[in-house]
Protein backbone atom coordinates (compact mmCIF):
# COMPACT_ATOMS: atom_id res chain seq x y z
CA UNK A 1 0.00 0.00 0.00
CA UNK A 2 1.33 3.41 -0.98
CA UNK A 3 0.70 6.50 1.14
CA UNK A 4 0.91 9.84 -0.60
CA UNK A 5 1.43 12.93 1.51
CA UNK A 6 0.33 16.26 0.14
CA UNK A 7 2.94 18.87 1.00
CA UNK A 8 2.97 20.79 -2.25
CA UNK A 9 1.29 24.01 -1.17
CA UNK A 10 2.95 24.40 2.26
CA UNK A 11 6.41 23.61 0.86
CA UNK A 12 5.96 26.11 -1.97
CA UNK A 13 4.71 28.73 0.44
CA UNK A 14 7.72 28.16 2.68
CA UNK A 15 10.10 28.45 -0.26
CA UNK A 16 8.60 31.84 -1.05
CA UNK A 17 8.22 33.18 2.49
CA UNK A 18 11.52 31.98 3.97
CA UNK A 19 13.84 34.25 1.94
CA UNK A 20 11.57 37.26 2.57
CA UNK A 21 11.56 36.56 6.31
CA UNK A 22 15.34 36.14 6.32
CA UNK A 23 15.84 39.49 4.60
CA UNK A 24 13.47 41.25 6.99
CA UNK A 25 15.32 39.78 9.95
CA UNK A 26 18.59 41.24 8.67
CA UNK A 27 17.31 44.83 8.44
CA UNK A 28 18.54 46.99 11.31
CA UNK A 29 16.03 48.23 13.88
CA UNK A 30 14.95 51.90 13.77
CA UNK A 31 17.38 54.12 15.66
CA UNK A 32 14.73 56.44 17.11
CA UNK A 33 11.60 55.38 18.95
CA UNK A 34 8.42 56.33 17.13
CA UNK A 35 5.44 57.14 19.30
CA UNK A 36 2.28 59.21 19.17
CA UNK A 37 4.30 62.42 19.70
CA UNK A 38 6.00 62.03 16.29
CA UNK A 39 4.17 63.60 13.34
CA UNK A 40 4.60 62.27 9.81
CA UNK A 41 4.53 65.62 8.02
CA UNK A 42 7.19 66.28 5.39
CA UNK A 43 9.41 69.38 5.39
CA UNK A 44 7.36 70.76 2.47
CA UNK A 45 4.12 70.38 4.46
CA UNK A 46 5.69 72.09 7.48
CA UNK A 47 7.11 74.93 5.34
CA UNK A 48 3.67 75.62 3.86
CA UNK A 49 1.83 75.68 7.22
CA UNK A 50 4.37 76.02 10.07
CA UNK A 51 1.74 77.18 12.58
CA UNK A 52 0.11 73.73 12.38
CA UNK A 53 3.29 71.92 13.44
CA UNK A 54 5.15 74.21 15.86
CA UNK A 55 6.50 72.17 18.79
CA UNK A 56 5.77 68.82 17.11
CA UNK A 57 8.32 66.00 17.09
CA UNK A 58 9.59 64.66 13.76
CA UNK A 59 11.98 61.98 12.58
CA UNK A 60 13.53 63.20 9.35
CA UNK A 61 16.60 62.29 7.38
CA UNK A 62 18.46 63.01 4.22
CA UNK A 63 21.70 64.23 2.71
CA UNK A 64 23.85 66.93 4.37
CA UNK A 65 24.13 70.04 2.22
CA UNK A 66 26.03 72.40 4.53
CA UNK A 67 27.20 72.92 8.15
CA UNK A 68 27.42 76.37 9.77
CA UNK A 69 28.76 76.98 13.27
CA UNK A 70 27.71 79.85 15.52
CA UNK A 71 28.91 80.80 19.04
CA UNK A 72 26.32 78.64 20.88
CA UNK A 73 24.93 76.23 18.26
CA UNK A 74 25.42 74.71 14.82
CA UNK A 75 23.07 74.46 11.87
CA UNK A 76 23.07 71.60 9.40
CA UNK A 77 21.15 72.11 6.15
CA UNK A 78 19.72 68.77 5.01
CA UNK A 79 18.04 67.70 1.77
CA UNK A 80 15.11 65.53 2.93
CA UNK A 81 14.50 61.99 1.67
CA UNK A 82 11.80 59.52 2.76
CA UNK A 83 12.98 57.02 5.37
CA UNK A 84 12.81 53.24 5.21
CA UNK A 85 11.65 50.99 8.08
CA UNK A 86 15.10 51.32 9.68
CA UNK A 87 14.90 55.13 9.33
CA UNK A 88 17.62 55.24 6.68
CA UNK A 89 17.21 57.86 3.92
CA UNK A 90 15.94 56.35 0.65
CA UNK A 91 18.14 58.33 -1.71
CA UNK A 92 16.85 56.53 -4.81
CA UNK A 93 13.48 58.23 -4.25
CA UNK A 94 12.69 61.88 -4.92
CA UNK A 95 13.91 64.44 -2.42
CA UNK A 96 11.18 66.16 -0.41
CA UNK A 97 12.62 69.58 0.30
CA UNK A 98 15.21 71.00 2.68
CA UNK A 99 15.28 71.72 6.38
CA UNK A 100 17.74 73.03 8.94
CA UNK A 101 18.76 71.00 11.99
CA UNK A 102 19.73 73.21 14.94
CA UNK A 103 22.21 71.39 17.17
CA UNK A 104 23.55 72.72 20.51
CA UNK A 105 27.29 73.37 20.63
CA UNK A 106 29.86 72.91 17.91
CA UNK A 107 29.51 70.40 15.06
CA UNK A 108 32.71 69.46 13.28
CA UNK A 109 32.00 69.97 9.55
CA UNK A 110 34.43 67.16 8.68
CA UNK A 111 32.22 64.76 10.70
CA UNK A 112 29.22 65.77 8.53
CA UNK A 113 30.68 66.44 5.08
CA UNK A 114 28.40 67.41 2.22
CA UNK A 115 26.60 64.36 0.91
CA UNK A 116 26.61 62.46 4.24
CA UNK A 117 23.39 60.63 5.03
CA UNK A 118 21.78 61.41 8.39
CA UNK A 119 18.63 60.80 10.42
CA UNK A 120 17.47 62.85 13.40
CA UNK A 121 14.63 63.19 15.84
CA UNK A 122 13.79 66.70 16.93
CA UNK A 123 11.22 69.37 17.75
CA UNK A 124 9.93 71.79 15.10
CA UNK A 125 10.66 75.43 15.91
CA UNK A 126 9.08 77.29 13.00
CA UNK A 127 10.65 78.29 9.70
CA UNK A 128 13.25 80.66 8.28
CA UNK A 129 13.32 82.32 4.88
CA UNK A 130 16.49 81.84 2.91
CA UNK A 131 17.55 80.82 -0.56
CA UNK A 132 18.69 77.84 -2.53
CA UNK A 133 20.86 79.26 -5.27
CA UNK A 134 18.97 82.27 -6.62
CA UNK A 135 15.53 81.01 -5.55
CA UNK A 136 13.80 82.02 -2.33
CA UNK A 137 13.13 79.14 0.04
CA UNK A 138 11.38 78.50 3.37
CA UNK A 139 13.35 76.14 5.65
CA UNK A 140 11.63 74.30 8.52
CA UNK A 141 13.78 74.47 11.67
CA UNK A 142 14.26 71.32 13.78
CA UNK A 143 16.03 71.47 17.15
CA UNK A 144 17.81 68.18 17.76
CA UNK A 145 20.27 66.96 20.38
CA UNK A 146 21.35 63.91 18.38
CA UNK A 147 21.90 63.20 14.73
CA UNK A 148 22.88 59.80 13.40
CA UNK A 149 25.30 59.79 10.46
CA UNK A 150 24.92 56.58 8.46
CA UNK A 151 28.00 54.64 7.39
CA UNK A 152 28.15 52.88 4.02
CA UNK A 153 28.02 49.54 5.86
CA UNK A 154 24.87 50.54 7.78
CA UNK A 155 23.21 51.63 4.54
CA UNK A 156 23.90 48.19 3.01
CA UNK A 157 22.63 46.17 6.02
CA UNK A 158 19.46 44.25 5.30
CA UNK A 159 19.64 44.87 1.57
CA UNK A 160 20.33 41.81 -0.54
CA UNK A 161 23.52 42.06 -2.54
CA UNK A 162 21.95 40.20 -5.47
CA UNK A 163 20.95 41.49 -8.86
CA UNK A 164 19.26 39.67 -11.70
CA UNK A 165 19.36 40.90 -15.23
CA UNK A 166 19.59 40.04 -18.88
CA UNK A 167 22.19 41.58 -21.07
CA UNK A 168 25.01 41.19 -23.52
CA UNK A 169 28.59 41.66 -22.52
CA UNK A 170 31.93 41.56 -24.17
CA UNK A 171 35.36 43.06 -24.29
CA UNK A 172 36.47 45.76 -26.68
CA UNK A 173 40.16 45.80 -27.51
pLDDT single digits (tens) 19-41: 544 444 456 788 888 888 899 99
Whether residue 34 lies inside any domain: the answer is no
CATH assignment at residue 136? 2.40.50.140
What's the per-residue H, E or C state across 66-118?
Answer: EEEECCCEEEEEEEEECECCCCCECCCCCCCCEEEEEEECCCCHHHCCCCCEE
Whether residue 8 lies inside any domain: the answer is no
pTM exceeds 0.85 for this model: no
Whether residue 107 lies inside any domain: the answer is yes
User: Which structural domain range is residue 91 located in?
Assistant: 43-156
Whether residue 116 lies inside any domain: the answer is yes
Whether residue 108 lies inside any domain: the answer is yes
Domains: count for the chain: 1
Query: CA-based diameter of the chain, in Å?
Result: 88
pLDDT of residue 173: 53
Amino acid sequence: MRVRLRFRFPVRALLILLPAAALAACAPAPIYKTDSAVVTASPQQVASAPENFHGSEVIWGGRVVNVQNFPDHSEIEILDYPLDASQRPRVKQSAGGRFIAIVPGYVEPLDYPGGSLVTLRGRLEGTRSGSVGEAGYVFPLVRSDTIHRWTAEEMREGHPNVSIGIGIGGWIH
